[in-house]
């Protein structure tokens, strides 16, 4: 139960050496640790756009045109009112697009972000277990410790391969997020132009 804690203390005090991870796995771990907070901040910023869209729905721009139409029969505001209605419809559709992209980011950090965090935690846990088992086997070479070392090494290799697979998917994640950002900017330009 306290094997991992003991191993961490030994590593911090210099009495044990931690297994070093390959550079690409270490870089991927740093990337994924920073990715989820970035996506959460981006999602939070996008939800602020939802407040703007609610304000636009509450604001009645056709009301001022109706006031002009009451001034007299000489002013025909029907074409202007139709144009305002078309514009408001286009903005409402664009805001729906913004909210759809916002939901993509939310589902990403809730599902994929959790998967990445779990993979990092599993890799760290299995590395500590493997280092602890190696230390026990070095101190007392018996069959139980050898079996424990072999099992923990296999678990570490599985977790390590999983992190390598995630690292290979970084370019796909970046391209998806880039396309989401491009679509988001298009929708924002339609929805929030003056």
The pLDDT tens digits for 20-58 are 777 888 888 888 888 888 888 888 877 776 676 666 666
**Structure tokens belonging to residue 37:** 């907070």
pLDDT grade, residue 158 (50/70/90)? Answer: very high
Nearest 5 degrees, angle CA 17-CA 29-CA 16?
A: 5
Nearest to 184 by CA among 106, 100, 110, 107: 100
Phi and psi dihedrals of 14, rounded to 5? Answer: 90, 10
The answer, yes or no, to whether residue 95 has pLDDT greater than 80, is no
- Is the pLDDT confidence value at 156 over 70? yes
Interatomic CA distance for residues 146 and 163, integer angstroms: 26
Could you tell me the pTM of the whole model?
0.69
Mean pLDDT of 91-114: 83
Closest by CA to 107, choosing from 161, 163, 180, is: 180
Q: Calculate helix-pair angle for 170-191, 23-58, nearest 10 degrees.
A: 20
pLDDT for 185 equals 81
The larger pLDDT score, comparing residue 164 to residue 55, is at 164
Q: What is the pLDDT of residue 74?
A: 63
State mean pLDDT over 130-157.
87
């Amino acid at each position: 139960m306290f094997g991992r804690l003991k191993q961490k203390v030994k590593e911090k005090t210099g009495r044990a050496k931690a297994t070093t991870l390959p550079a690409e796995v270490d870089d991927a771990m740093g990337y994924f640790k920073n990715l989820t907070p970035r996506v959460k901040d981006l999602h939070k910023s996008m939800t602020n756009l939802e407040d703007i869209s609610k304000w636009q729905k509450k604001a009645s721009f056709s009301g001022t045109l109706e006031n002009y139409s009451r001034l007299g029969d000489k002013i025909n505001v029907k074409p202007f009112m139709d144009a305002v209605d078309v514009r408001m419809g286009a903005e409402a559709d664009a805001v729906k697009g913004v909210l759809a992209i916002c939901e993509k980011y939310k589902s990403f950090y809730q599902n994929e972000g959790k998967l990445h965090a779990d993979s990092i935690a599993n890799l760290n846990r299995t590395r500590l277990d493997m280092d602890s088992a190696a230390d026990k086997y070095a101190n007392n070479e018996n069959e139980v410790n050898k079996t424990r070392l072999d099992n923990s090494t296999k678990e570490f290799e599985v977790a390590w391969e999983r992190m390598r697979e995630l690292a290979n998917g970084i370019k796909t994640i970046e391209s998806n997020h880039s396309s989401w950002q491009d679509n988001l900017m298009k929708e924002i330009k339609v929805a929030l132009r003056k």
